[in-house]
Structure 1
Amino acid sequence: MTPKQLGFHFPAEFEKQTALWLSWPHKEASWPGKIHTIYNPYSEFILRVASHQKVCINVSGEQMREFALLSLYNSDYAKSVSNLESLLDNVKFYFHPTNDAWCRDHGPAFLVNRETREKAIVDWGYNAWGGKYPPYDLDDVIPTEIGKALGLPVFNPGIVMEGGSVEFNGKGTLLTTTACLLNKNRNPHLNQKQIEQYLVDFYGVDNILWIGDGIIGDDTDGHIDDITRFTDEETVVTVIEENKSDENYEILQENLKTLKALRLETGKQLNIVELPMPKPVIYDDQILPASYANFYISNENVIVPTFRDANDDKALSILQDCFKTRKVIGIDSTDIIWGLGSFHCLSQQEPAV
């Protein structure tokens, strides 16, 4: 029987969580020449969330665990808090070696059973966004390894799927992009209808909404978590480019037009809140996928990437209006985005039961 038939579903990120899951960054090739610069903002991300929920981090072994702890202790944010030890009590390490740090995509998809309140994990196939960055054998088995560690049942659909390519309202609606899920470098043997059936069966949803393309610089072929995110059961924020000469302008206008025509599982239209884009972030002549939509929702905070841009404060203000019961916190992601992702790409939530 499928997870859906058994009563399982994938909760929305804004629902109550038990933990934040991460895979400690260590791959120099993902941040060539500047991996050392990411540990300060990354550590702040961890400690901000550890103030109110568990943070579980995959590391290769004791040496990486010690380096991670040292990074946390020496971070700027650690020096600004008086309760560092109590924050670190909420951080737990698991000896699960990984190839890279993008836990949203290689990490476990946690499901919850509506009736029994049991948890389970989906271990989708993972091929580093269409085979772009081998090797990925260690990342591919992370969900099953976590399932063993937590004593949870694991479902194996047998197809490629990444957590950053799907977005949920927790009531039966899933939002995704044709650019990513229909890309032939993922599941070339499946058509759109067949992919939709996997989404229904293994995420426990009823209503699949498709928009078009992702932002320029996104090496994932258009992940939804860089463009459109649910902030509650009926509301999405979607990024908009104000500069008509920018390459993202038409792409994002087309997505906005599509969103306005879509309907939730209730038949209602989406409430749509427009979120600005920062000015292009360019490093080493490469346009990076900088987006305020790549935020992580924890139980008490919303951690938003900022880019030393004039629109940072505007984006934070818009998101604070959307998340009235949480504190919206901006953390500088100018160095992290050189890895072509930010806080949402790096993270995966474990729901509470």
Structure 2
Amino acid sequence: MDRKTGPRPHVKLRRPGEFEPHARTWMAWPHRKDLYGSRLAAMREAYVEVAHAIAGFEPVSMVAHPDHAESARARLGAGIEVVALPIDDCWIRDSGPTFLKRDDGGLAGVSWRFNAWGEKHAPFDADDALAGRVLAHQQADIFQSFLHCEGGSLACDGDGTLIVTETSLLHPNRNPGLSKAWVETELLRMLGLEKVVWLPGDPLDLETDGHVDGMCCFVRPGVVMFEYNPDPNDLHGRILADNLAALASQTDARGRSFEVIPIPEAYDVEATSEVFARSYINFALTNGGVVMPTYGTPSGEEAKAAVARAFPDRRIVTVDVGAVVPAGGAIHCITQEQPL
């Protein structure tokens, strides 16, 4: 379909909350031996487990590089659709489209510019084009943005509010020369939203530069889950506390103060890389469920209890993503929901 530079004036678009009904979830099959080496086989097994966990709630479509599509089908089985498209990497939350709903019920989406989190990995040209290819595959309207932005940078409430972090979207490796006002204007224009809530972010995050999906998510409009670390001497815990304080000082698009449901990060898990993702909140919401990471430590039970309090009507499924998190992300990072 034709790419458009922004939403058409006569079509009203809305970015739904992730907690709203889905048509399916998208994933992307890992294949980069140069990036993942001996971990690649274990990463693929974790992707299979996540895909099947989500498929217990809703359809799953797995994008696979054409050279690896058949082997992906063999590993995933008949219940998972495999879509052969050119890809560089396997983090479709960031390289895939941000889906939108048209006011007439049709499907649309944003294709952001993607440069592998500030040109941290190469090549990334196929991933830069992936959002448009997925949207074309779904016969959805494609709205092309000039902004370098990843899906993990965005937390939307479906009611006009967006939460983002400064360390990610304002980083000079993404959008050099663009002011905060320009970035905010483009986010509102592309997503059909009314207000951007800025958090300071995480300057210690060496991979995503502090994506919001590593610290908070919307449960419903006005209600946010937010990670914490119980150790007062933990540096990352202090960063999380600073971000929570920034959230508490603001209101959403409807003038509501944010109700916060706390959830621990995986504070008792030993990091095995500089970009290790110790996040429980990096989960995938599905139709009637939550598929969340587990690390096999006591903090996991605390986190699961917090998710159960936040989503009492959803079934919780945990998946061991120990092979994925050393690369810098967890389940939310490897999934992208398509709204119903």
Q: Aligned pair 1:106/2:95, yes or no?
A: yes
Alignment partners' CA distance in 2, 1:168 and 1:29:
34
Counterpart of 1:142 in structure 2 is 130
Which one of the candidate residues 54, 63, 70 is aligned to 1:58?
Answer: 63
Counterpart of 1:282 in structure 2 is 271
Give the aligned residue type for 1:34: R
Cα deviation digits, residues 152-199 of structure 1 (max 9, x gap):
221111221110001000000000001111111111121001101001
Distance 1:317 1:348, change over 3 A: same
* Structure 1 stretches of at least 4 aligned residues deviating more than 3 Å after TM superposition: 215-218
Cα deviation digits, residues 212-267 of structure 1 (max 9, x gap):
12274451100000001101112111111111222202101111111111101111
Q: Is the 8 A contact 1:107 1:143 kept in 2?
A: yes
Counterpart of 1:96 in structure 2 is 85
Give the aligned residue type for 2:140: L
Pick which of 304-313 and 143-152 moved more.
Answer: 143-152
Q: Aligned pair 1:267/2:249, yes or no?
A: no
Aligned with 2:224: secondary structure? strand
Give the aligned residue type for 2:184: E
Percent identity over paired residues: 27
Which one of the candidate residues 199, 209, 218 is aligned to 1:221?
Answer: 209
Alignment partners' CA distance in 1, 2:109 and 2:296:
37
Q: Aligned pair 1:10/2:15, yes or no?
A: yes
Counterpart of 2:119 in structure 1 is 131
Pick which of 147-156 and 210-219 moved more.
Answer: 210-219
Alignment partners' CA distance in 2, 1:163 and 1:41:
21
Q: Aligned pair 1:233/2:190, yes or no?
A: no
Counterpart of 1:41 in structure 2 is 46
Aligned with 2:126: secondary structure? helix
Alignment partners' CA distance in 1, 2:205 and 2:196:
26
Distance 1:296 1:220, change over 3 A: same
1:287 deviates by: 5.7
Contiguous gaps of at least 5 residues in structure 2: none
Alignment partners' CA distance in 2, 1:332 and 1:29:
23
Alignment partners' CA distance in 2, 1:293 and 1:215:
19
Q: Is the 8 A contact 1:216 1:247 kept in 2?
A: no
Counterpart of 1:69 in structure 2 is 73
Counterpart of 1:122 in structure 2 is 110
Alignment partners' CA distance in 1, 2:141 and 2:314:
32
Which one of the candidate residues 10, 28, 31 is aligned to 2:36?
Answer: 31
Q: How does 1:166-205 map to 2 (within 5 A)?
A: 166-205=154-193
Give the aligned residue type for 2:130: I
Alignment partners' CA distance in 2, 1:52 and 1:256:
32
Contiguous gaps of at least 5 residues in structure 1: 74-87
Q: How does 1:334-345 map to 2 (within 5 A)?
A: 334-345=322-333
Q: Is the 8 A contact 1:215 1:248 kept in 2?
A: no
Aligned with 2:113: secondary structure? coil
Give the aligned residue type for 2:12: G
Which one of the candidate residues 295, 301, 305 is aligned to 2:283?
Answer: 295
1:50 deviates by: 1.4
Alignment partners' CA distance in 1, 2:275 and 2:161:
32
Counterpart of 2:195 in structure 1 is 207
Counterpart of 1:309 in structure 2 is 297
Alignment partners' CA distance in 2, 1:142 and 1:341:
19
Counterpart of 1:161 in structure 2 is 149
Aligned with 2:38: secondary structure? coil
